[in-house]
Structure 1
Amino acid sequence: MMNQLANLNWVSVLLAFVVYFLLGALWFTLFFSRPYKISLGRENETLPNKPIFIVGPALCSLVITLATAVLLYALDISGWGDAVAFALLIGIGFLVANTVNIAINPNIPRPILYGVISGSYHLTGILIVSMILTAMK
C-alpha cells in the first residue's frame, strides 16, 4: 500500500491539507468557538494560543490527509459517489468514533458536545479532503 506514495498527486495532497487545516482554524475559532469552549468547561476563558495548538493540529491534519490519499489511490477510488462513501466510512468509523471516545474522559466536562463539535469537523474535513483528492487524481 505504501507504494502508492509514488503515485500521489502531491499538489492535491497539499491543497487538501491546507483546506482541512484552515477549516479547523475557522471551525474552532469562528464557527463554533463558544460551544467548543463550553464543551471544555472554559466558556469564560481565552483559550491558549501556544504554538503546539497550531502546529499539532496541522501535523495531524497532514497525516490524516496523507493516509486518506494513500487509501484512495490503493482502493482506486475515482468516482464522486465512491469518494463520498469512503469519506463517510472513514469519517464516521474512525475519526468521529475516535474523537467521541477521546472526549469520554474525566477531563472533558461536556464530552458529547465536544464529540459533536470535533467529530463533525473531522467528518466535514475528510469529506472535503476526499473530494479534492478524487477531483485532482
Structure 2
Amino acid sequence: MMSQLANINWISVLIAFVAYTILGGVWFTVLFKKQYAISLGKENELPAKPAPIFIIGPAVCSFIITITSALLLYALGLDTYSQAMGFAFIVGGGYLVANTFNIAINPNIPYPIHYGIISGAYHLVGIFIVSIVLVAMR
C-alpha cells in the first residue's frame, strides 16, 4: 500500500482534486443553485452563509475520492483515456451516484429523486474529470 502511494503522481491528484472542488462550487452555486435548493425544500429561504463544515467537508471527501481513484487507476494499470472513462462510468455510476441516491432516500430530503439527480450527476461528471486528469498526467 505504501509503495502504491509513493508511485502516485501527487501533482495530478492535486490538479484533479482542485478541478473536482471547483466543479462542486460552480455546480451547486451557479449551474443548479435553484434546483438544488428545491431538492432540499429550501427554495423559499434566503441563502445563508454556509458554515465551514459545508465547504470543508465536501472538499475533504473529494480529496479522498481523488486519492482512492488514483490508487485504483494505478493498481488496475489503467492508462488510456478510454480506460479512464470506463473506470469513471463504473465508479461514478456504481458507487458515487448509487450512494448519493441512497443518502437522499431519507426523511430529511423532501425530494430525494431530484436531489439524487443533481448531486449524483455532479459526482459522475466529477469522477470523469478526476479520471481523465489522473490518466493524462500519469
Q: What TM bracket, shorter-length normalisation?
A: over 0.9
Task: Specify whether residues 47 and 91 from structure 1 end up closer, same or farther in structure 2 by C-alpha distance, changes over 3 A only.
Answer: farther
Question: What residue identity is the alignment partner of 2:68?
Answer: A
Query: Alpha-carbon deviations, 1:1-58, whole Å to 9, x = none?
Result: 5531110000000000000001000000000000000000000121441111110011
State the match for 1:111 in structure 2.
112
Q: CA deviation at 1:88?
A: 0.3
- Larger mean CA deviation between 47-56 and 108-117 belongs to 47-56
Task: Specify whether residues 22 and 67 from structure 1 end up closer, same or farther in structure 2 by C-alpha distance, changes over 3 A only.
Answer: same
Query: Alpha-carbon deviations, 1:57-110, whole Å to 9, x = none?
Result: 110000000000000000010011111000000000000000000000000000
Q: CA deviation at 1:124?
A: 0.1
**TM-align CA RMSD:** 0.9
Work out whether residues 2 and 70 of structure 1, in 8 Å CA contact, stay in contact via their aligned partners in 2: no
**Which ranges of structure 1 fall in alignment gaps of 5 or more residues?**
none
> TM-score when scaled to structure 1?
0.97
CA distance in 1, matches of 2:111, 2:91: 24
**Equivalence map 1:24-103=2 (5 Å):** 24-45=24-45, 46-103=47-104
CA distance in 1, matches of 2:4, 2:97: 26
State the match for 2:16 in structure 1.
16
- Aligned length, in residue pairs: 137
Q: Which runs of 4+ in 1 moved over 3 A?
A: none
Question: What residue identity is the alignment partner of 1:18?
Answer: V
State the match for 1:4 in structure 2.
4
Work out whether residues 103 and 114 of structure 1, in 8 Å CA contact, stay in contact via their aligned partners in 2: yes
> TM-score when scaled to structure 2?
0.97
